[in-house]
């Protein structure tokens, strides 16, 4: 799979750039070339980098300005209109009540939604991926391709009937389990595909050796396949976690929208809907929702990139 | 398998704890929510554990079948109930009205005769044409610019960062860029401030149709460029240096090298990037919902589907829009399945 190859290459390159450089020593001609073309390239790169950074940086500065200054002047006048406060953060996090942002409650909801919605598909998919890779059965190839194709069915197609099942037969609409199950289902095709790619790459000799030693499928799975598949499990887990944390559509449809279950994104979207009145709250609120993905991003970039690339067809 | 009763029990437990949160008792509600989290995880572990345990203990004769079932059945069952059946059901719903009566193709006729919905379809087409093209181009340019430069890793992170931010968060970030104040007042949105600095008149970027759609599209490009950049950068590094060196000895300039050597070398990655961004763009929902709510002529299919089905209870019309979305993604599915089949044959 070209995407996975690219993913592997990308993982190696930024992190092991020393190694790459050693493999490709730059000749004199190379360096001359670099100087000639780099003037425009550098200018272009700087322009793009600045345009891409300013929106986030500007909002970050805004989030620490006093409410009346947020409403009265732009963040770039920060030195003329100096002001620094944590009030916005304190207000959106701690103020309770129907009209306040209540973000601390929604933050908890996001955690309670995201943890099982990451673990459930991970467990189910690793079992299925093992079966598709190492248990021979009829139609295995056809079923696997079917699962792969499901990956690209827009989840919009499933929302209405799934909601009917949840509110009718199961009666769990608007609860955490409803959101967990929905996310699990929507995450499964990608997870199975991703983990299968990895698990099927495990050398056949290793699996055979375990069988010869008398291990059944469960023992093989738990003692050999799972430990070896750890990198793939980690990258899917991070990818799915971020996907769930950042999701709005599934949350809107299945969480019922209240402070009991709905995650941060849902509350943010609501606050944003009453934009004028929440102007001073939104920057702080946005950063509270962004902070977890950013931590994941910076600390686990390597796995995040891999999950993102292998999962590029999630839907 | 016992999943149904377990789910119902967990649900009951959840409903039991709900009122606390409404009373505004944050810590009480939090403890109970984590209780639900714990029960949910424990119930899941118990079900999976039991299934595996009994499958492991079955008599030798049936063991193979039972073990296989234990491995694949939970996932496949969920997919059947949660994706395959709903997808079929949605296709059926698309041919019914809000009372659930069969009305043939009326929902589709409605779609293609309402100016409002035609606008939605047109907007989606504009999104799909612009976002993949521009994010891929900018991402590729940036990847080439920073290739082998000092601080490449940091420069990459800057452009890649928006990928980690939710669409909702990105929507808020950009609303502050587009913020409008009437002429004469101090601007608090950067874009209008720049216009004013250059002596222009402030604009309501998100309200003035049809340009507002383009300002929403910019947000999506801002998010997707990092994705394109990281993949393409990896692909560029995989192009063998010998070929580049050879073309240089043949007297090719930087531009010719790029077009004749680099681009063909990264073609397969380009295809992956473009198709992926195309699918993401077709389904874009959060940005439109957060920034304009789909008003002022900015709605797209995914957003309109939600509005029709869940805000107006026009289930049939919503389902019909979902089907249209599916038809738009279909060629990409078929292409991907074909590639996939080839790969399996090679194996």
Q: Is there a single domain that holds both residue A213 and residue A256? A: yes
Q: Is there a single domain that holds both residue A53 and residue A117? A: no
* A239 pLDDT tier (thresholds 50, 70, 90): confident
Contact B22 A259 (CB under 8 A): yes
Q: Is there a single domain that holds both residue A114 and residue A80? A: no
* A117 pLDDT tier (thresholds 50, 70, 90): very high
Parts of chain B with a pLDDT under 70: 1-24, 340, 343-347
pLDDT of residue B137: 95
CA distance B289 to chain A (A): 8
Q: Is there a single domain that holds both residue A146 and residue A250? A: yes
Domain edges within chain B: 3-93, 108-346
* In-domain check, residue A314: no
Q: Is there a single domain that holds both residue A162 and residue A189? A: yes
Residue of A nearest to B35 (CA): A112
Q: Is there a single domain that holds both residue A77 and residue A112? A: no
In terms of Cα–Cα distance, which of B131, B129, B125 is closest to B221?
B131
pLDDT of residue A171: 79
Q: Is there a single domain that holds both residue A286 and residue A227? A: yes
Q: Is there a single domain that holds both residue A82 and residue A127? A: no
* Interface-testing mutation among A124, A181, A204, with chain B (most B C-beta atoms within 10 A): A124
- Whether the pLDDT of residue A125 is over 50: the answer is yes
Report the CATH number that the domain containing residue A138 is assigned in CATH.
Answer: 1.10.3720.10
Q: Say whether residue A85 is in contact with chain B using an 8 A CB cutoff.
A: no
Of A87, A111, A138, at which residue does a domain stop? A87
Q: Is there a single domain that holds both residue A117 and residue A166? A: yes
Of A87, A122, A149, at which residue does a domain stop? A87
Q: Say whether residue B259 is in contact with chain A using an 8 A CB cutoff.
A: no
Choose the closest CB to B24 out of A15, A49, A96: A96
- Whether the pLDDT of residue A141 is over 60: the answer is yes
Q: Is there a single domain that holds both residue A162 and residue A216? A: yes
pLDDT of residue B8: 60
- Nearest 5 degrees, angle CA A242-CA A243-CA A248? 120
- Whether the pLDDT of residue A77 is over 90: the answer is no
Choose the closest CB to B254 out of A37, A170, A313: A37
CA distance B276 to chain A (A): 6
Number of separate domains in chain A: 2
**pTM of the model as a whole:** 0.83
What is the span of the domain harbouring residue A115?
103-309
* In-domain check, residue A229: yes
Q: Is there a single domain that holds both residue A214 and residue A74? A: no
Mean pLDDT of all residues in A79-86: 84
Q: Is there a single domain that holds both residue A25 and residue A57? A: yes
d(CA B78, CA A254): 16
Q: Which residues of A touch B41 (CB under 8 A)?
A: 115-116, 119
Choose the closest CB to B155 out of A49, A111, A298: A49
Q: What pLDDT digit, counting tens, does each position of A128-138 carry?
A: 999 998 888 88
In terms of Cα–Cα distance, which of A258, A262, A267, A265 is closest to A243?
A265
* In-domain check, residue A93: no
Supply φ then ψ for residue B250, to 5 degrees: -75, 0
Q: Say whether residue A181 is in contact with chain B using an 8 A CB cutoff.
A: yes
What would the CATH number be for the domain defined by B108-346? 1.10.3720.10
Of A87, A118, A139, at which residue does a domain stop? A87
What secondary structure does DSSP assign to B209-245, as a single string?
A: TTHHHHHHHHHHHHHHHHHHHHHHHHHHHHS-HHHHH
What secondary structure does DSSP assign to A9-49, as a single string?
A: HHHHHHHTHHHHHHHS---HHHHHHHHHHHHHHHHHHHHHH
* In-domain check, residue A95: no
Q: Say whether residue B265 is in contact with chain A using an 8 A CB cutoff.
A: no
Choose the closest CB to A160 out of B30, B90, B285: B90
- Whether the pLDDT of residue A35 is over 70: the answer is no
pLDDT of residue A274: 80
> Among residues 222-241 of chain A, which lie with CB inside 8 Å of chain B?
none
Interface ipTM above 0.85: no
* Interface-testing mutation among A69, A102, A152, A241, with chain B (most B C-beta atoms within 10 A): A152
Q: Say whether residue A203 is in contact with chain B using an 8 A CB cutoff.
A: no
Mean pLDDT of all residues in A137-144: 85
> Among residues 81-100 of chain B, which lie with CB inside 8 Å of chain A?
81-87, 89-90, 93
């Amino acid at each position: 799979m070209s995407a996975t190859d690219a993913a592997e290459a990308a993982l190696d390159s930024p992190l092991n750039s020393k190694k790459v450089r050693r493999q490709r020593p730059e000749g004199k001609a190379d360096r001359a070339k670099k100087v000639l073309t780099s003037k425009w390239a550098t200018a272009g790169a700087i322009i793009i980098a600045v345009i891409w950074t300013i929106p986030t940086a500007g909002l970050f500065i805004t989030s620490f300005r006093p409410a009346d200054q947020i409403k009265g002047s732009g963040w770039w006048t920060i030195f003329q209109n100096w002001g620094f406060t944590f009030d916005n953060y304190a207000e959106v996090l701690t103020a309770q009540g129907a009209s306040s942002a209540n973000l601390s409650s929604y933050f908890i909801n996001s955690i309670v939604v995201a943890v099982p919605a990451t673990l459930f598909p991970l467990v189910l998919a690793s079992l299925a991926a093992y079966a598709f890779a190492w248990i021979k059965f009829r139609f295995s190839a056809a079923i696997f391709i079917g699962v792969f194709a499901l990956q690209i069915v827009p989840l919009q197609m499933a929302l209405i009937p799934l909601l009917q099942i949840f509110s009718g037969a199961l009666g769990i609409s608007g609860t955490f389990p409803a959101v967990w199950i929905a996310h699990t289902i929507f995450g499964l095709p990608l997870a199975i595909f991703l983990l299968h790619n990895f698990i099927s790459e495990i050398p056949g000799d290793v699996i055979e050796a375990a069988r010869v030693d008398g291990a059944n499928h469960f023992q093989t799975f738990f003692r050999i396949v799972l430990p070896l598949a750890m990198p793939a499990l980690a990258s899917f887990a991070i990818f799915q976690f971020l996907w769930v944390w950042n999701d709005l559509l599934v949350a809107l449809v299945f969480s019922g929208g209240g402070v009991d279950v709905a995650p941060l994104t849902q509350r943010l979207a609501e606050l944003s809907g009453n934009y004028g009145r929440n102007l001073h709250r939104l920057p702080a609120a946005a950063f509270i929702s962004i902070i977890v993905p950013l931590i994941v991003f910076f600390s686990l970039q390597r796995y995040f990139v891999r999950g993102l690339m292998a999962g590029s067809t999630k839907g | 398998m016992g999943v149904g009763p377990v789910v119902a029990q967990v649900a009951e437990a959840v409903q039991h704890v709900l009122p606390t949160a409404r009373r505004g008792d944050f810590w009480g509600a939090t403890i109970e929510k984590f209780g639900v989290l714990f029960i949910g995880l424990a119930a899941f572990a118990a079900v999976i554990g039991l299934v595996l345990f009994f499958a492991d203990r079955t008599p030798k004769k049936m063991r193979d079948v039972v073990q296989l079932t234990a491995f694949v059945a939970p996932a496949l069952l969920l997919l059947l109930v949660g994706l395959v059946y709903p997808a079929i059901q949605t296709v059926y719903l698309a041919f019914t009205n809000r009372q659930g009566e069969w009305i043939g193709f009326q929902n589709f006729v409605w779609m293609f005769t309402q100016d409002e919905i035609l606008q939605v379809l047109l907007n989606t087409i504009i999104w799909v044409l612009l976002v993949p093209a521009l994010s891929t181009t900018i991402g590729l340019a940036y990847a080439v610019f920073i290739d082998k430069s000092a601080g490449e890793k940091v420069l990459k992170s800057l452009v890649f960062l928006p990928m980690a931010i939710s669409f909702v968060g990105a929507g808020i970030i950009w609303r502050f860029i587009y913020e409008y104040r009437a002429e004469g007042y101090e601007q608090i949105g950067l874009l209008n401030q720049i216009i004013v600095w250059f002596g222009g008149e402030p604009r309501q970027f998100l309200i003035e149709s049809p340009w507002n759609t383009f300002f929403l599209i910019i947000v999506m490009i801002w998010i997707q460029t990092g994705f394109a950049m990281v993949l393409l950068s990896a692909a560029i590094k995989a192009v063998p240096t010998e070929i580049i060196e050879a073309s240089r000895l043949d007297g090719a300039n930087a531009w010719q090298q790029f077009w004749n050597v680099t681009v063909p070398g990264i073609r397969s990655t380009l295809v992956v990037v473009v198709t992926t961004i195309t699918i993401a763009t077709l389904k874009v929902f959060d940005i439109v919902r957060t920034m304009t709510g789909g008003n002022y002529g900015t709605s797209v299919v995914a957003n309109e589907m939600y509005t029709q089905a869940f805000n107006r209870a026009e289930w049939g019309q919503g389902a019909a829009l979902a089907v249209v979305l599916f038809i738009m993604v279909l060629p990409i599915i078929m292409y991907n399945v074909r590639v996939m089949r080839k790969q399996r044959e090679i194996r």
